[in-house]
Amino acid sequence: MMNPIHQTAVAGVSGYAGAELARLLLHHPRLAGCPPVFFGRPAGPHEEIGSRVSLAELHPQLAGSIGSTSKWVEPFQWDALREKNVRLIFLATPHEQSRAWVPRLLDLGIRVIDLSGAWRLKQSANREVYRLDDADPSAAASIQNQAVYGLPELHRERIAAAQVVANPGCYATSIILALAPLVADHRVDLDRGITCDSKSGVSGAGKTPTAKTHFMHAADNLSAYSPFNHRHTGELLEQLGLDNSNIIFTPHLLPIPRGILSTIYLTLREPAEPRAIEDCFRRFYSSSPMVRWFGANLPAIQYSVRTNYCDLGFALAPDRRRLIVVSCLDNLLKGAAGQAVQNMNLLFGWPEQEGLT
């Protein structure tokens, strides 16, 4: 029998992150007997309201997952949320859609984990990159103030009580987790600046193909894009308390399906021994089961791909001031769907790593 307290739904299950969400939720031990409701796009003017597609047909890789053969992806309908008593919905939708839907979802008493960029940024100057156009700016501002940035390693207590959780961006997660312990410990010489060189697999650009994600461009290639103005930059500034002049972030497209490696270059305010850097990170993440510390054994994408871990390691120069931190994660898991499930666990009061290890 379904437990209405834990009835979940996924809107936008057709994308890469949506597929990973479906897989994780179908196998989550706490949701046994209470499978999620899956929604695709809203029914269009020429579509029948009842049209639907099999989840296994939409995502053949899920054909062997628990209950997938009997699960259907329905066109999104507001009435279905009430009929199925949905208490938590994951939005794997474009940010414009999420921004429009969340006010009504909250009115229905449904908690939201939003995987888009719609609610991540508190400062209006940073949000301009999304070009949001709110039907009710006052209501949107109120929700924005309440939304919690969904990085459990920084905000797990606030996430547990949130009505709207704004799942972080994948690049942002890799960089913030690499820098947060050092920034919090006031070890970074901000006047010398921070350089973040990040590389992601092609799935980070989403399922809709573009000229740059086309095989002929991406294969056997490595390309930089959006220097100085990538939409994740605002997340770095707000979550780390930095000024735009303190940090440079340049993303790159790797010719691999998934995974992120961020190499972060910085200068310490005071010389430090390697053991002090080790202690700084280990203390900060002592209660964070989804962060693995590699120390001087630098992580690589192949270790973290298809897991929900963020792997961290470092190299300290002989002058004991120049420091490199390497951060690796799977952009579809710790960078998207896995982190969303981690946030769900916190919302429901379960161990945050449950269903993810």
Statement: residue 119 has pLDDT above 60: yes
Structurally, the chain folds into a number of domains equal to 2
At 304-354, the pLDDT tens digits run 999 999 999 999 999 999 999 999 999 999 999 999 999 999 999 999 999
Domain that holds residue 229: 170-329
Mean pLDDT of 235-249: 96
Range scoring the smallest mean pLDDT among 2-16, 153-167, 224-238 = 2-16
Pairing of strands 53-54, 72-76: antiparallel
Taking CA atoms, 345 is separated from 4, 42, 68, in Å, by 16, 28, 22
Nearest to 341 by CA among 12, 22, 3, 16: 22
Which residues, listed in sequence order, are joined to residue 295 by a DSSP beta bridge? 313
Other beta carbons within 10 Å of 186: 9
One domain, residues 155 and 121: yes
One domain, residues 196 and 251: yes
Report the chain's mean pLDDT, rounded to a whole number. 92
Domain membership of residue 352 (yes or no) is: no
Residue type, 9: A
At 260-310, the pLDDT tens digits run 999 999 999 999 999 999 999 999 999 999 999 999 999 999 999 999 999
Catalytic (active site) residue 34: no
Q: Find out whether 313 and 295 touch, Cβ atoms under 8 Å.
A: yes
What does residue 291 show for φ and ψ, rounded to 5 degrees? -115, 125
- DSSP per-residue letters across 222-254: -EE--TTT-TTHHHHHHHHT--GGGEEEEEEE-
Kindly state the tokens that stand for 264.
């972060």
At 79-117, the pLDDT tens digits run 999 999 999 999 999 999 999 999 999 999 999 999 999
Mean pLDDT of 244-272: 96
Containing 133, the helix (H) or strand (E) segment is: none
One domain, residues 228 and 282: yes
Q: Which of 170, 196, 310, 328 is catalytic?
A: 170
CA distance 10 to 306: 20
Q: Strands of 260-267's sheet, edge to edge?
A: 223-224, 247-253, 194-200, 260-267, 322-329, 310-316, 291-295
Domain membership of residue 357 (yes or no) is: no
Nearest to 149 by CA among 141, 140, 158: 158
User: Which CATH number do you get for residue 73?
Assistant: 3.40.50.720
Other beta carbons within 10 Å of 152: 24
Kindly state the tokens that stand for 76.
């999104």
User: Which CATH number do you get for residue 246?
Assistant: 3.30.360.10
One domain, residues 197 and 342: no
Domain membership of residue 9 (yes or no) is: yes
Taking CA atoms, 207 is separated from 12, 118, 204, in Å, by 12, 19, 9
One domain, residues 181 and 71: no
User: Helix or strand or coil: residue 309?
Assistant: coil
One domain, residues 174 and 163: no
Q: Find out whether 114 and 165 touch, Cβ atoms under 8 Å.
A: yes
One domain, residues 132 and 198: no
Grade residue 46 by pLDDT with cuts at 50, 70 and 90.
very low
Q: What is the pLDDT of residue 1?
A: 42
CA distance 155 to 168: 12
Percent of the chain past pLDDT 70, that is, above it, reads: 95
Kindly state the tokens that stand for 163.
């009505």
Domain membership of residue 355 (yes or no) is: no
